[in-house]
Amino acid sequence: MDTILLTSDNATQYIGREIVFKTRNNHIVKRILGVSKTGKSIHIEHPDLQNSLEIVKRKVYVIL
């Protein structure tokens, strides 16, 4: 599986793509629904994280 690290600089390029990240000791695969105006967080469908994922402090990878 080829991946690329998601950053605030490249997040808008990957809207609609699948990502993988780790939360509560589990790897989760979700789709990017949108990016915040600052680019520091992304919108995903995951109620446990309040449908938002901060990408500055967390390693989030885009699945290519």
Task: Give me the domain span that covers residue 51.
Answer: 3-63
38-47 pLDDT tens trace = 999 999 999 9
Q: The domain that contains 28 carries what CATH number?
A: 2.30.30
| Phi/psi-derived region of residue 11, left when phi > 0, alpha when psi is between -120 and 50, beta in every other case | alpha
Question: For the whole model, what pTM was predicted?
Answer: 0.91
Place of tokens 């915040």: 36
Q: How many domains does the chain have?
A: 1
Q: Check the CA dihedral 6-9-10-15 and report its sign.
A: positive
Spatial strand order in the sheet of 60-63 = 3-5, 60-63, 18-23, 26-31
pLDDT in tens, 25-62: 999 999 999 999 999 999 999 999 999 999 999 999 99
